[in-house]
C-alpha cells in the first residue's frame, strides 16, 4: 500500500498538507474518483431513473442499478438484497420499524448492548416500549467488550432479535459476531448487525457471516453523504412491509387496494439517491483496489504506534488500549474533552470529543465523554506526531490552571 500516493487521491489532503485528519469514524474524506462519478452523473445526466422513457433516463437507470450490483458484490450479497437508504441510521430504523413492529409481541425479548451507537439501540428501545417487550443488554467484560459467554447469559428462547454492533465507534472493539449469530439462530432470533464502523475497515461477507440484516453508511467509506445500505436476506425482506409509501415503490394503486414492487424497490419510495449510489459504488471499487485486508492491517499498526506514544505521556487515560481497529478513546486528566479538542484544532488535528452518540458506553466508562482519534488508510506517522504534539500542548495549556 503506497500511502503517499493514495493521499494524493484526496483533494482535501492535497490542499492542506499539514492537516492531520483523525475523525474518520465520523466521516471519511472523499477521493477524486468518487467526486468525479458524482460530478459525471450531475453534469452529463441529471435526470430521474426508472420512470423515463428516453435514452438519457435509461442510461441513468443503468448507472444506478449497476451501482447496486457493485455494492452487492462488495459485501457478497445478492443484487435484490441491497436496499438504498439515507445511511446507517435509516437502515437500522427500517429494520426496527418494519421487521420489529410487525414481529415483536408482548413478552418477547430483544438483545442489544451498551456498546451501541444510538442509531442501533434506540429504535429497539422504542419497539420494546410500544410492544411491551423486554430489552436486554449483554453485560460487558472488564475491558468493555461483548463476549460470547456474556451473550449466552442474556440469550433465551424468548429472544427474537439481536441488535448489535460489529465494531464499536467509541471502543473500536470487534464483536465476536460469528459465534453470536450462530447462537441467536439456534433460538430462532434474527440478527440486525450495525456495520457502520466495520464495512469501511475490513473484508466483510454477509453470506459467510450469515447475519440477517447489515446496515452501513456510504460517507464512512469514502462515499458521498446521504447514501447508505440496508442488506437483508431476501426471504426476510420479501416478507417485510414497507414503511414509506409513494412514488416508485408502488405497483398497482386503486381506490381500494395497493400493491408494491418487489424487494428492494418496495423500500425505496420516491426519487432515489441516484448520485449517492453511483458515488458509493465508486468508493467500493476504490477500497477494493487498495484491499480491505491491507487497510485493516495498516490502521491497526498506526493505532498501536499512536497508543505506544500516548502511553509515554503522564496523566492520559486510554479507555481501549487493546482495541483491534483504528479507534483510540482517551482523556487528559482534569481536561474536559471539548476543551482538549479545541487545542487540537489549533494544531490542525481533526478529532472528535464527546459521547459520540453512544451515551451507554460513555456512562459505562464513568465519564462525561472522551476524546477520540480514528485512523484510516491515508493517515501517516506524521499525523501521529501532530496528534501527540496536540496532546502534549493540551495537557500543558490546561495544566496551568
Ligand atoms: N452506527 C455506528 C456504529 C456509527 O458509528 C454511526 C455513526 C452510526 C451507526 C450512524 O451512522 P449515520 O451515517 O447514519 O450517522 N457514528 C458517528 C461517529 O462515531 N461520529 O459521528 C458519527
Q: Which domains does the chain have, with CATH numbers?
A: 3-30+291-398 (3.90.1150.10), 34-289 (3.40.640.10)
For residue 375, pLDDT over 90 is answered with yes
For residue 68, pLDDT over 70 is answered with yes
Chain segment 7-49, per-residue pLDDT in tens: 999 999 999 999 999 999 999 999 999 999 999 999 999 999 9
Q: Is 165 in the pocket of ligand 1 (CB under 6 A)?
A: yes
pLDDT at residue 218 in the model: 98
- Mean pLDDT over 368-395 rounds to 96
pLDDT at residue 401 in the model: 67
Q: Which of 196, 197, 223, 323 to mutate to test the pocket of ligand 1 (most atoms within 8 A of CB)?
A: 196
- Mean pLDDT over 212-236 rounds to 98
Contact 173, 145 (CB under 8 A): yes
Nearest CA to ligand 1 atom 17: 26
pLDDT at residue 67 in the model: 98
* Residue listed under C-alpha cell 435484490: 80
117 CA → ligand 1 middle, Å: 7
Contact 196, 145 (CB under 8 A): no
* 125-154 CB burial, b ≥16 within 10 A, e <16: ebbbeebebebbbbebeeebbbbbebbeeb
Q: Which of 128, 222, 284, 357 is catalytic?
A: 357
Share of the chain above pLDDT 90, in %: 96
CA 370 – CA 354 distance, rounded (Å)? 5
Q: Is 24 in the pocket of ligand 1 (CB under 6 A)?
A: no
pLDDT-wise least confident of 35-49, 342-356, 376-390: 342-356
357 annotated active-site: yes
pLDDT-wise least confident of 72-76, 169-173, 397-401: 397-401
SS3 118: helix
Q: Which of 23, 118, 169 to mutate to test the pocket of ligand 1 (most atoms within 8 A of CB)?
A: 169
Q: 174 pairs with which residues across the strands?
A: 167
Q: Is 120 in the pocket of ligand 1 (CB under 6 A)?
A: yes
Q: Is 169 in the pocket of ligand 1 (CB under 6 A)?
A: yes
Burial of 59 (0-12, 13-18, 19+ CB in 10 A): middle
Q: 327 pairs with which residues across the strands?
A: 374
261 CA → ligand 1 middle, Å: 30
Amino acid at each position: 500500500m503506497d500511502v503517499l500516493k493514495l493521499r494524493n487521491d484526496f483533494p482535501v489532503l492535497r490542499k492542506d498538507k499539514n492537516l492531520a485528519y483523525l475523525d474518520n469514524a465520523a466521516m471519511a474524506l472523499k477521493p477524486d474518483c468518487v467526486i468525479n462519478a458524482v460530478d459525471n452523473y450531475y453534469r452529463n445526466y441529471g435526470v430521474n431513473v426508472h420512470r423515463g422513457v428516453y435514452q438519457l433516463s435509461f442510461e441513468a437507470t443503468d448507472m444506478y442499478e449497476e451501482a447496486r450490483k457493485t455494492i452487492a458484490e462488495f459485501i457478497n450479497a445478492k443484487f435484490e438484497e441491497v436496499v438504498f437508504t439515507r445511511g446507517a441510521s435509516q437502515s437500522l430504523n427500517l429494520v426496527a420499524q418494519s421487521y420489529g413492529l410487525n414481529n415483536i409481541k408482548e413478552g418477547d425479548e430483544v438483545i442489544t448492548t451498551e456498546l451501541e451507537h444510538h442509531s442501533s439501540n434506540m429504535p429497539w428501545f422504542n419497539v420494546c416500549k410500544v410492544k411491551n417487550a423486554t430489552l436486554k443488554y449483554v453485560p460487558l467484560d472488564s475491558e468493555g467488550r461483548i463476549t460470547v459467554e456474556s451473550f449466552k447469559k442474556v440469550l433465551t428462547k424468548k429472544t427474537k432479535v439481536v441488535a448489535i454492533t460489529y465494531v464499536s465507534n467509541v471502543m473500536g472493539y470487534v464483536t465476536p459476531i460469528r459465534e453470536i449469530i450462530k447462537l441467536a439462530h439456534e433460538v430462532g432470533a434474527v440478527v440486525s448487525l450495525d456495520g457502520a464502523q466495520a464495512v469501511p475497515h475490513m473484508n466483510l461477507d454477509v453470506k459467510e457471516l450469515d447475519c440477517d440484516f447489515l446496515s452501513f453508511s456510504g460517507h464512512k467509506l469514502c462515499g458521498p453523504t446521504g447514501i447508505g445500505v440496508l442488506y437483508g436476506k431476501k426471504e426476510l425482506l420479501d416478507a417485510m412491509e414497507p414503511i414509506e409509501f409513494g412514488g416508485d415503490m408502488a405497483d398497482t394503486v386503486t381506490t381500494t387496494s395497493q400493491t408494491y414492487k418487489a424487494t428492494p424497490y418496495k423500500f425505496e419510495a420516491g426519487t432515489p439517491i441516484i448520485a449517492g449510489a453511483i458515488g458509493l459504488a465508486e468508493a467500493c471499487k476504490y477500497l477494493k483496489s487498495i484491499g480491505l485486508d491491507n487497510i485493516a492491517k495498516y490502521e491497526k499498526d498506526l493505532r498501536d504506534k499512536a497508543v505506544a506514544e500516548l502511553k509515554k505521556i503522564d496523566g492520559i487515560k486510554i479507555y481501549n488500549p487493546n482495541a483491534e481497529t483504528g479507534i483510540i478513546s482517551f482523556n487528559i486528566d482534569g481536561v474536559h474533552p471539548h476543551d482538549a479538542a479545541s487545542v487540537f484544532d489549533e494544531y490542525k488535528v481533526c478529532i472528535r470529543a464527546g459521547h459520540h452518540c453512544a451515551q451507554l458506553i460513555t456512562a459505562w466508562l464513568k465519564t462525561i465523554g472522551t476524546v477520540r482519534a480514528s485512523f484510516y488508510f491515508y493517515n501517516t506517522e506524521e499525523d501521529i506526531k501532530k496528534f501527540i504534539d496536540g496532546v502534549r500542548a493540551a495537557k500543558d495549556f490546561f495544566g496551568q490552571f
